[in-house]
Structure 1
Amino acid sequence: MAFRLKPALIIIILIGCIIISYSSFMKGPVMRYHVETKTEENESSQLQDVDNSSVIVNETKEELSAKPAEKPVKPSLLSLIQSIPLKAVENQTDKTSQGILTESLYEAGYDIPNVDLCPEFGEGLKVLVGVMSAPSHEDARRAIRYTWGHYALQKNIVLGFIVGNSKIASLNAITAEESTLYGDIIRGNFIDSYDNLTLKTISFLSWIDNYCSKAHFILKTDDDMFINFPKLLSFIDKHWKTEKTIHGRLAKKWKPIRNKRSKYCVSTKQFSQAVFPDFTTGPAYLLTGDIVRDMYTKALKSTYLKLEDVFTTGIVAQALNIKRVHVNEFINKRIPFNICNIKKSISIHMIKYHEQFDLWKKLSDGRSKCK
């Protein structure tokens, strides 16, 4: 009599075979997971400094850290981890940390120059304002145009937004459309990122030298700043005859961070000294127009540093013997929005785009008095 297996028993045997096969398959990946985890820990400093990939990397690491090591990781997630080009990230970070000249990184020119923004090379121009902005910060630019930026309607004031190119085509389309509507976008030939902030300022200096060289003063600021324009213009009038000077919030005796895990790490090949030269902090500073060309030229021949303010108003300015003067009214931090603070300040930092309207209303309201 032939021996026949019951259907239920056949199903149990098949399931057992599948489990054994799957376990064998997973042993290799789980072991590789342990190796990859150690590799990620060793190279975490490089990963933290990459804007475009850090979101994916950090989210993946958080998911893994929440799971016990003995539990199998889904192959799809593991494949994502193994596909992260750690060495490529490391090489990108190391490129500037090895100490290279800025001119090897900088590409001159603009795909949106808006040369007509500054008529007659700035003849008779009291102040040119360059607002450093990111392509995605459309709301911030709009808020500035509708508040303190409207001072640019005066003939002796010009305001432009300095941006780079985005890796996202739709964001480039936004800045191109804004340029058509307002004519105030200056887009340089660089990728807009934190590591390229210094290139953004150099691009602005080059634009001034080529198209607005007769501007008497230049305010470099960010799109999260509130500028008290009446106060700024009053300050300029009092210092009209000043030459070869940068006015702003002076930072003294700052030391380089050597920790490779830090976003602000500076290697000894980039800057070997123990203390930075005095510099004016980046959110807002005011330059006299007579130093622009020299600063641009010297910047290109200097070792690149992504710390824009340290590089531009510290290292480059020091090499050119340019004076840096502390001005209390440059408040490059967030402060309470009371009327006294607003009226006494030239600049206030960390302003959300919708807060620009509140600050502007308080400043413009003649009934509000500072006691």
Structure 2
Amino acid sequence: MYEPGHMLDEIDEDRICPDKGKDIKVLFLTNSALGNAEARMAIRQTWGHYASRIDIGHAFVLGRGTNETLNKAIDEENYLYGDLIRGNFIDSYKNITLKVISLLEWAARHCSRAAYIFKTDDDVFINVPKLLEFLSTHSAKRTMYGRLAQNFKPIRNKLAKYYVTTDEYAEDVYPTFILGPAYLFTGDILHELYEHSLNRPYLWLEDIVVTGVVPESLGIKREDSYCFVNVVTTYNPCVLHDHVSFHSIKPIQQYDIWNTIQNKTTKC
């Protein structure tokens, strides 16, 4: 079902990941929907600004669209910023696993020497200084980091958002996996994740596939890290300063959190 390859017109690969990522500490790859231009701009103007550093790379990952007006807007956006990775699949919610496989393929082809890959979504805020601090105390190999989900069962209710048929996933319980909005993994497992994600029956729940089924079969460690947060429960500056990621963030909130974290006078 997966068609390899990407539209490489106008993407600035040498800026995003020079020399295959030889000096890249973290490559951020952010899943984004075609129509989410506002969310992408908010990230570029806040935490995505760290991609100007020589040791950090960042790009957005999208699929293809059928709306010509939107396609033209995407072309123009990529002409300006050169940071849109576009795979050979229709950009839709049910194709999110294809989007992550596309992400893995691009990284494996163009940034294979990066020390870490951080997969995230365009409604996530990343506290980059806190992440770099986190990495300074972790030196494991073949490891994925994020918020673990354990003993989750497939939902068999046909009316539910996350309904999964027994043909899609036959077991009664999912393997331990990492919640999909934000997870980090060491670069030494990049090729394995890509190749083995291709070689299993398709399941549209990408986090279960890429952080659960595949790494479990490969003996890759998943580590529960409480500094990865699903939602912002408070705008307490000390909470914001002390965590790596926050999910369910609207574009305007990206700026609010950014301004709070940039305030160096906060004492906790």
Bucket of the pairwise TM-score, normalised by the shorter protein = over 0.9
Match of 1:353 in 2: 251
**Shift of residue 250, structure 1, vs aligned partner:** 0.4
AA of the residue aligned to 2:4: A
Query: TM-score by structure 1 length?
Result: 0.70
What secondary structure sits across from 1:285 in the alignment? strand
Letter in 2 for 1:133: S
Within a 5 Å distance, the mapping from 1:3-14 to structure 2 comes to none
Match of 1:163 in 2: 62
The one-letter code sitting in structure 1 at the alignment partner of 2:8 is I
CA contact (8 A) 1:135 1:174 kept: no
- The residue aligned with 2:134 is 235
Task: Report if the CA contact (8 A) 1:280-1:314 is conserved.
Answer: yes
CA contact (8 A) 1:122 1:212 kept: yes
Partner of 2:233, secondary structure, is coil
Answer yes or no: is the 8 Å Cα contact 1:335–1:348 preserved in 2: no
1:103-143 Cα shifts (integer Å, max 9, x gaps): xx111111236333311100111000001101111111111
Counterpart residue identity of residue 159, structure 2: R
Name 1:108's counterpart in structure 2: 4
Structure 1 equivalent of residue 144 of structure 2? 246
Question: Distance in 2 between the 1:256 and 1:140 partners?
Answer: 31
- Which is richer in helix? 1
Residues 16-95 of structure 1 mapped to structure 2, 5 A cutoff: none
Q: Would the alpha carbon gap of residues 112 and 169 (structure 1) be closer, same or farther in structure 2, given more than 3 Å must change? A: farther
| Cα distance in structure 2, aligned partners of 1:279 and 1:323 | 10
Deviation at residue 263 of structure 1 after TM alignment: 2.4
Gaps spanning 5+ residues in structure 1: where?
1-104
Q: Quick check: 2:238–2:266 contact (8 Å CA) kept in 1?
A: no
Map of 1:276 onto structure 2: 174
Q: CA deviation at 1:166?
A: 1.6
Query: Which of residues 195, 198, 201 is equivalent to 1:300?
Result: 198
Does 1 or 2 have the higher relative contact order (CA < 8 Å, sep 6+)?
Answer: 2
**C-alpha separation in 2, matches of 1:199 and 1:182:** 24
Match of 2:23 in 1: 124
SS of 1:234's partner is helix
Higher radius of gyration, 1 or 2: 1
* 8 Å contact kept, 1:112–1:188: no
Task: For 1:108, give the aligned amino acid.
Answer: P
- SS class of match (1:354): helix
Q: 2: CA distance between counterparts of 1:334 and 1:135? A: 25
**1:144 to 2:43 alignment:** yes
1:366 corresponds to which residue? 264
1:235 CA displacement? 0.9
CA contact (8 A) 1:227 1:348 kept: yes
> Aligned letter for 2:98?
L
Q: What is the TM-score when the length of structure 2 is the normalising length? A: 0.96
Q: What's the % identity of the aligned pairs?
A: 46
Please give the alpha-carbon distance, in whole angstroms, between the structure 1 residues aligned to 2:24 and 2:185.
14
CA distance in structure 1 between the aligned counterparts of 2:92 and 2:168, rounded to whole angstroms:
19
The reply on whether 1:287 has 2:171 as its aligned counterpart is no
| Aligned counterpart, 1:316 | 214
Letter in 2 for 1:317: P
**2:28–2:59 Cα contact (<8 Å) kept:** yes
Give 1:369 deviation, angstroms.
2.4
Indicate conservation of the 8 Å contact 1:330/1:348, yes or no.
Answer: yes
Q: Distance in 2 between matches of 1:298 and 1:248?
A: 20
Q: How far did 1:155 drift?
A: 0.4
